[in-house]
Structure 1
Amino acid sequence: MRFAQVTLQNFRNLPLVSVRLAGRHSFLVGANGQGKTNFLEALGYVTALRSFRAAEPRALVALGQAQAGLGFTLEHERFGESKLAIAFGADDRTVEWEQGRVTRLADFIGQFPTVVFSSQDNQLLRGAPALRRRWLDLTLAAMDGAYLAALQGYTRAVAERNILLKHGGRDGAQLTAFEREAATQAVQLVAARAAGVAELSELFRAAHARLVPEGETAALVYAPDTAAATAEDFVAQLAKSRPRDTLLKSTERGPHRDDLEFLLQGRPAKNFASEGQQRCLVIALRLAQAAYFKRHRAIEPVLLCDDVLGELDPERRRKFWASLDGQPQVVATGTALPDAEAGSWQVLRVAGGRIEEGGAA
C-alpha cells in the first residue's frame, strides 16, 4: 500500500494541504512546531480512525473550526486505486470509500495499515502498562474483528460493573450479570493475547537481530493479570474480590491490568538496557508490528517515521534500512535532510502549516 495524494483541511495547524507523494520515500523537513507530525498523524488515522497521539477528535480540528476533513488517494494491493474521505468534528465522524460509507469500525480497521515510529516510543518500554496494552490491543484488533468485539464487550462490562461498585455494589444480581459477561470476553482476550504475543515475539526477535550485534537477544513476554483459565474461574475471582473492589470503587483484576514485558539477554530491558539498546528494542517492536500486519492481510504497511532516524547513529541507521522487508512506502520527518546513505527522497518543506514540494535529496 502507498499514499499517492493527500488532502487535509482544518486538521490541527494545517488549514489546507494538498500534496502528491511520489515514489517510496518522502521526507518532511522543517523546524519544530510547523506541522510535520500533524501530517503523519493524519496519514496514521486511516488505520483505526484514531490518532497515534491518543488525542480526542476535538483536539484534531483546527482552532475555531467546526470540522476537519481528510482525503486520500491510495494504491492498494486489494482495492487498486482507492479514494478515502474522512470528515469529523468533536462529536461526529463520517468515513466514505469505494466500499461505501463505513458504519462499523470492525468493517474498516486494519484495511489501510500504517506503522508509526515515534521519538516517544521509548515510553512503550519505560512507561505504564496501559501504553503497552493500548499498543497490543490496536495491533491485534486491526487484524481480527473478533478480538475487537471481545475487547469492546469486556470494556463495557467492566465499566458497568464499576458503576455499580461506585453505588455500593448493592445490586448483587446485576453485578453477577456483568461479571459473567466480563468473564466470557476476558477468556477470549487472554487466549488471543497469548497467541498474538507469541507470534509477535517471533517477529520481534527476528527484527531485533537485524539491528544489533550478533549474540544480543530479545523477547516479548505476555504477563496476564489473572491466572483464571475459564470463564467460571474468572467469575469466581470477581465474586471473591467484590468487597475490596466495592471499597476501591473499581474492578482491580482482569485483562485491563495485563502487561507486556521486554527482555534483553533474558533480563527485564527497562532495568538493564542502555539508551541505544532501548531505541533498538522499540524500533524492532514497530518492525514486528509491520511484519504482523503484512502477514495477516498481505498488505504492505506504510511506515511513518516521526523524527526518529536522526536519533540513530550511522551504523544503526544503516541496519534499519537494511532490515526493511519488501518495499514499503516510508514517510519521515526531521529538522534536517536525511543522509545520502538512506537513498533518494522526495522532499517536502513544512513551515507555518504549509507544505510545499522542495525537490529531491
Structure 2
Amino acid sequence: MRLRRLSLHHFRNVGFAALDLAGRQQCFVGANGQGKTNLLEAIGYLTALRSFRATDNKVLIAHGQTGAAIACVVDHERLGDTHVTIKLRADGKEVWCDQTRITRLADYLGRFPTVVFSSQDILLIRGAPTLRRRWLDLTLAAMDADYLRALTGYMRALAERNALLKSGRVVDAELAAFEQALAPAAVELIARRQAGVEELNRSMQAAYAGLCDAVEPAGMTYQPSFAEPSVEAFLARLESGRARDAQFRSTLVGPHRDDVGFTVKGTAAKDFASEGQQRSLVLALRLAQSAWFQARSGVVPVLLADDVLGELDPQRRRRFWAAIPETAQVIATGTHLPDAELGTWQVFDVKAGDVTAAVAG
C-alpha cells in the first residue's frame, strides 16, 4: 500500500494541509513541537480509526473548532486507487471509502494497515501493563473483527459489573447476570490474545536476531491474570472472588489485568536489558507487527517512523533500515534530513502546523 495524497483540516495544530506524496520515502522535518508527529498520527488513524497517542477523539480537533477531517488517496494492492475520508466530531466520526459510508467498523478493519515506530515505544518495555494491553488490543483488533467483537463485549460487561460493585449494593444475583456475559467474552479474548502473541513472538524473534546478530535471543510471552481456558472455571473464579471485589469495588481478575512480558537472553528485559537492547526489542516488535499485518491482510503496511533512530548505534540503525521491506513506504519525522545513505527522500518542512514541500534529499 502506498499513500499518494494526504489532506488535513483542523487536525490538531494543522489548520490545512494538502500533500502529494511521490516515491516510497517521505520525511517531515522541523524543530520539536511543530506538528510532525501530528501528521503521522493522522496517517496512522487510517488503520483502525484510533489514534496511537490519544484515546479521546476530542483532542484531535483543533482548539476552537467543531470538527476535523482526514482525507487520503491510497494506491492499494487489492482495492486499487482508493479514496478515504474521515470526519471527526467531538461526539463521533464518519468514514467514507470511495463515496460509500462505512457504518460497521468490522467492514473497515484490515484494509489500510500502518505501523508506527515511535520514540515512546520504549515504554512498552519499561512502562505499566496498561500500555502493553493497549498495544496488544490495538494490534489484534486492527486486523481481526472477531477480536474487536470479543473485546467490546468483554469491556461492556466489565463496566456493568464494576458499576454495580462501586454502587455498594452488591447482590449476588445481579453480579451473576453480568458474569454470564463477562465469562464467555473473557475466555475468547484470552484464547485470541494467546494465539496472537505466539504469532507475533515468532516474527519478533527473527527481527531481533537480524538487528542484534543473533547472539542474544529475545522473546515475548502472554501473561494472563487468569489462565484457565474455560467459561465454567472463570465463572467459578468470579463467584469465589465476589467478596474481595466488593471490598475493592472493582473486578480484580480477567483480561483487563493481563500483561505481556519481554525477555532478552532469558531474563526480564524491563529489569536487565541494556538501553540498546530495549530499543532494539521495540523496533523488532514493530517489525513483527508489520509482518503480521501483511500476513493477515495481504497488504504491505505503510511504516511511520517518528524520530525513533537517534538512540541506536550506527550498526543497529543500518540493520533496522535493512530489515524494512523494499516494497514498504516509509514516512519519517526528524529534526534534520535523513542520512544520504538511506536513499532519496521527499522532504516536507513543518513549522507551527504549516507544511511545505522542500527540495528532495
Q: Same fold (TM over 0.5)?
A: yes
Q: Partner of 1:135 in structure 2?
A: 135
**Deviation of 1:237 (Å):** 0.2
Matched residue SS, 1:344:
coil
The aligned runs of 1:50-89 (5 Å cut-off) are 50-89=50-89
Instruction: Report the more deviating stretch, 277-286 or 207-216.
Output: 207-216
**Deviation of 1:35 (Å):** 1.0
Matched residue SS, 2:260:
strand
Conserved 8 A contact 1:318-1:341? no
Instruction: Provide the C-alpha distance between the structure 2 equivalents of 1:142 and 1:120, rounded to a whole number of angstroms.
Output: 20
Instruction: Provide the C-alpha distance between the structure 1 equivalents of 2:128 and 2:352, rounded to a whole number of angstroms.
Output: 34
The aligned runs of 1:17-96 (5 Å cut-off) are 17-96=17-96
The aligned runs of 1:235-246 (5 Å cut-off) are 235-246=235-246
Q: Partner of 1:255 in structure 2?
A: 255
Q: Partner of 1:120 in structure 2?
A: 120
Q: Partner of 2:189 in structure 1?
A: 189
The aligned runs of 1:318-337 (5 Å cut-off) are 318-337=318-337
Instruction: Provide the C-alpha distance between the structure 2 equivalents of 1:19 and 1:178, rounded to a whole number of angstroms.
Output: 49
Conserved 8 A contact 1:124-1:131? yes
Query: Residue by residue, what CA displacement relative to the aligned partner does 1:222-278 show, whole Å, maximum 9, x if unpaired?
Result: 111012221010000000000010111110101111110001001100111111111
**Deviation of 1:350 (Å):** 0.7
Q: Partner of 1:205 in structure 2?
A: 205
**Deviation of 1:170 (Å):** 2.9
Conserved 8 A contact 2:208-2:214? no
Instruction: Provide the C-alpha distance between the structure 1 equivalents of 2:326 and 2:17, rounded to a whole number of angstroms.
Output: 30
Query: Residue by residue, what CA displacement relative to the aligned partner does 1:116-166 show, whole Å, maximum 9, x if unpaired?
Result: 000100000000111111111111111211111010001011110011111
Instruction: Provide the C-alpha distance between the structure 1 equivalents of 2:169 and 2:159, rounded to a whole number of angstroms.
Output: 13
- Where structure 2 has 5 or more consecutive residues not aligned to the other structure, the ranges are none
Conserved 8 A contact 2:44-2:115? yes
**Deviation of 1:204 (Å):** 0.4
Q: Partner of 1:349 in structure 2?
A: 349
The residue type paired with residue 328 of structure 1 is A
Instruction: Provide the C-alpha distance between the structure 1 equivalents of 2:2 and 2:335, rounded to a whole number of angstroms.
Output: 24
Q: Partner of 1:233 in structure 2?
A: 233
* Distance change (3 Å), C-alpha of 1:169 and 1:238: farther
**Deviation of 1:314 (Å):** 1.6
Tell me the matched-pair count.
361
Q: Partner of 2:175 in structure 1?
A: 175
Q: Partner of 1:216 in structure 2?
A: 216
The residue type paired with residue 6 of structure 2 is V
Instruction: Provide the C-alpha distance between the structure 1 equivalents of 2:296 and 2:87, rounded to a whole number of angstroms.
Output: 28
TM-score normalized by structure 2? Answer: 0.98
Instruction: Provide the C-alpha distance between the structure 2 equivalents of 1:303 and 1:215, rounded to a whole number of angstroms.
Output: 27
- Where structure 1 has 5 or more consecutive residues not aligned to the other structure, the ranges are none
Conserved 8 A contact 1:72-1:84? yes
The residue type paired with residue 94 of structure 2 is T
Q: Partner of 1:152 in structure 2?
A: 152
Conserved 8 A contact 1:27-1:332? yes
The residue type paired with residue 77 of structure 1 is E
Instruction: Provide the C-alpha distance between the structure 1 equivalents of 2:214 and 2:238, rounded to a whole number of angstroms.
Output: 47
Instruction: Provide the C-alpha distance between the structure 2 equivalents of 1:53 and 1:68, rounded to a whole number of angstroms.
Output: 17
Matched residue SS, 1:4:
strand
**Deviation of 1:2 (Å):** 1.1
The residue type paired with residue 295 of structure 1 is A
Query: Residue by residue, what CA displacement relative to the aligned partner does 1:59-110 show, whole Å, maximum 9, x if unpaired?
Result: 1111111110111000111110000111111112111012721112222123
Query: Residue by residue, what CA displacement relative to the aligned partner does 1:298-335 show, whole Å, maximum 9, x if unpaired?
Result: 10000000011233222111101111134100000000
* Distance change (3 Å), C-alpha of 1:55 and 1:224: closer
The residue type paired with residue 224 of structure 1 is P
Instruction: Provide the C-alpha distance between the structure 2 equivalents of 1:274 and 1:233, rounded to a whole number of angstroms.
Output: 40
Matched residue SS, 2:310:
helix
Query: Residue by residue, what CA displacement relative to the aligned partner does 1:327-353 show, whole Å, maximum 9, x if unpaired?
Result: 100000000111112111111111121
Q: Partner of 1:312 in structure 2?
A: 312
Instruction: Provide the C-alpha distance between the structure 2 equivalents of 1:89 and 1:140, rounded to a whole number of angstroms.
Output: 26
The residue type paired with residue 8 of structure 1 is L
Instruction: Provide the C-alpha distance between the structure 1 equivalents of 2:67 and 2:147, rounded to a whole number of angstroms.
Output: 31
Instruction: Provide the C-alpha distance between the structure 2 equivalents of 1:110 and 1:296, rounded to a whole number of angstroms.
Output: 8
* Distance change (3 Å), C-alpha of 1:58 and 1:355: same
Conserved 8 A contact 1:223-1:259? yes
Matched residue SS, 1:350:
strand
Conserved 8 A contact 1:169-1:175? no
Instruction: Provide the C-alpha distance between the structure 2 equivalents of 1:91 and 1:18, rounded to a whole number of angstroms.
Output: 26
**Deviation of 1:168 (Å):** 2.4
**Deviation of 1:172 (Å):** 2.2
Q: Partner of 1:339 in structure 2?
A: 339
The residue type paired with residue 239 of structure 2 is A
The residue type paired with residue 43 of structure 1 is I
Instruction: Provide the C-alpha distance between the structure 2 equivalents of 1:308 and 1:170, rounded to a whole number of angstroms.
Output: 49
**Deviation of 1:198 (Å):** 0.7
